[in-house]
């Protein structure tokens, strides 16, 4: 039978905005030794801004921006929102075959021309020769009918509490904090250093994140995963404990998780751990 105090623990947690879907998850929070976290939206705010426009040649700037906006306004990715909002009043155009490829970017036929916008991996797949400007940020390269137009750089910032929360988790005896991201290594390393995670894995496709977490579980680690995106749902379901950022999180992420945070910040995880510890003390 479930000790009554666990219900008390769940109640106390929910008052603090930490929704725990069952008393067994409160117990499991006491057993976790490894925290795996998604970068975008979990450690960082997930609200990108355009910080630079780098046309490949003189005269391409206008096309770079307008094709970028035309494609990205059809995506819900946080990167897409930054580009779509960068320039207002870009004409609506005839578009067919819009495709979004997770971890790569977008493509469509715009007035009969094949337009692609995405990262280095997408450009390589499409055999486009691209240039990466020397700016720390996520590049969205744009090409039209095989012609490279250039690159739009977007950047995101870390949430205020992320660094302190990660420090607190370590103080509470968490062995390792690992950040996973589909973003590129330069950006991931920069953010990882800023918040003090132990390990960073970058350039991951959604299925690579699943593989990574499975590897840790196979090694016997007790893994909690914190994320928010649609693509995070499989990892949230797989981890010993799936924790979703509920406010910004997708329905799929909330559904797949064991714990839902009503405030999208990592201090909520620390609060959850405090309550789990107190509850354990009462039970023993
Ligand atoms: P994360 O792991 O940070 O949540 P995603 O898996 O959502 O990242 O995306 C990984 C990478 O794929 C992004 O950093 C970006 O380079 C590229 N990407 C994804 N969606 C888009 C988009 N709509 N436009 C441009 N690039 C995109
Ligand atoms: Mg994500």
- Average pLDDT over the chain, rounded to an integer: 93
d(CA 87, CA 6): 52
Side-chain half-sphere CA neighbours of 79 within 13 A: 24
d(CA 240, CA 258): 9
| Ligand 1 pocket, mutate which of 37, 67, 73, 79 (most atoms under 8 A from CB) | 79
d(CA 118, CA 31): 40
Name the CATH superfamily for 4-46+157-283: HAD superfamily/HAD-like (3.40.50.1000)
Q: What is the pLDDT of residue 217?
A: 98
pLDDT digits (tens, 9 = 90+) for 97-115: 999 999 999 999 999 999 9
Q: How many CB atoms lie within 10 A of CB 100?
A: 16
- Model confidence band, residue 116 (pLDDT cutoffs 50, 70, 90): very high
Q: Measured in angstroms, how far is the CA atom of residue 39 from the centroid of ligand 2? A: 7
Q: How many CB atoms lie within 10 A of CB 196?
A: 13
d(CA 156, CA 211): 26
Q: Which residues are catalytic?
A: 38
- Do residues 64 and 86 touch, judged by C-beta distance below 8 A? no
| Ligand 1 pocket, mutate which of 48, 118, 128, 211 (most atoms under 8 A from CB) | 118
Ligand 1: residue whose CA is nearest its atom 22? 105
Q: What is the ipTM of this complex?
A: 0.97
pLDDT digits (tens, 9 = 90+) for 205-260: 999 999 999 999 999 999 999 998 778 899 999 999 999 998 767 888 999 999 99
Q: Measured in angstroms, how far is the CA atom of residue 141 from the centroid of ligand 2? A: 19
Residues of the chain with CATH 3.40.50.1000: 4-46+157-283
- Do residues 114 and 98 touch, judged by C-beta distance below 8 A? no
Q: Are strands 105-110 and 34-38 parallel, antiparallel or unpaired?
A: unpaired
Contact residues for 194 (Cβ-Cβ < 8 A; gap 6+) = 158, 163
End-to-end CA distance of the chain: 15
Residues of the chain with CATH 3.40.1110.10: 49-155
- Model confidence band, residue 3 (pLDDT cutoffs 50, 70, 90): low
Residue 90 above 70 pLDDT? yes
| Residues near ligand 1 (Cβ within 6 A) | 38-40, 72, 75, 77, 79-80, 102-106, 117-119, 138, 140, 181-183, 229, 231
Q: What is the pLDDT of residue 230?
A: 77
Q: What is the pLDDT of residue 190?
A: 96
Domain 49-155 has CATH 3.20.20.140: no
Q: What is the pLDDT of residue 199?
A: 98
Residue with tokens 């916008």: 117
Spatial CA neighbour of 25 closest among 212, 222, 235: 222
Q: Measured in angstroms, how far is the CA atom of residue 42 from the centroid of ligand 1? A: 14
For the ranges 5-9, 164-168, 254-258, the lowest mean pLDDT is seen at 5-9
Which atom in ligand 1 lies closest to the alpha carbon of residue 77?
23
d(CA 204, CA 216): 16
């Amino acid at each position: 039978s479930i000790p009554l105090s666990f219900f008390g623990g769940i109640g106390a947690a929910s008052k603090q905005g930490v929704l725990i879907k069952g008393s067994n998850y409160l117990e499991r929070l006491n057993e976790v030794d490894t925290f795996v976290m998604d970068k975008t939206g979990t450690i960082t705010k997930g609200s990108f801004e355009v910080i630079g426009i780098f046309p490949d040649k003189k005269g391409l700037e206008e096309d770079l921006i307008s094709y970028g906006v035309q494609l990205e306004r059809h995506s819900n990715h946080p990167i897409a929102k930054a580009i779509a909002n960068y320039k207002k009043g870009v004409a609506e155009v005839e578009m067919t075959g819009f495709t979004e490829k997770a971890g790569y970017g977008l493509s469509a036929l715009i007035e009969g021309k094949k337009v692609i916008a995405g990262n280095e991996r997408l450009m390589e797949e499409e055999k486009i020769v691209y240039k990466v400007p020397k700016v720390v940020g996520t590049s969205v390269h744009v090409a039209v009918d095989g012609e490279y137009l250039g690159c739009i750089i977007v950047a995101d910032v870390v949430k205020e509490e992320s660094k302190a929360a990660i420090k607190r988790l370590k103080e509470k005896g968490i062995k390792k904090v690992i950040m996973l991201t589909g973003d590129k290594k330069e950006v991931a390393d920069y953010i990882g250093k800023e918040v003090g995670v132990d390990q960073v894995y970058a350039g991951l496709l959604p299925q690579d994140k699943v593989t990574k977490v499975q590897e840790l579980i196979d090694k016997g680690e007790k893994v909690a995963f914190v994320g928010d995106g649609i693509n995070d749902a499989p990892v949230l379901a797989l981890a010993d404990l799936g924790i979703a950022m509920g406010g910004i999180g997708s329905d799929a992420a909330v559904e797949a998780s064991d714990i839902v945070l009503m405030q999208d910040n990592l201090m909520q995880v620390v609060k959850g751990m405090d309550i789990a510890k107190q509850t354990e003390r009462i039970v023993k």
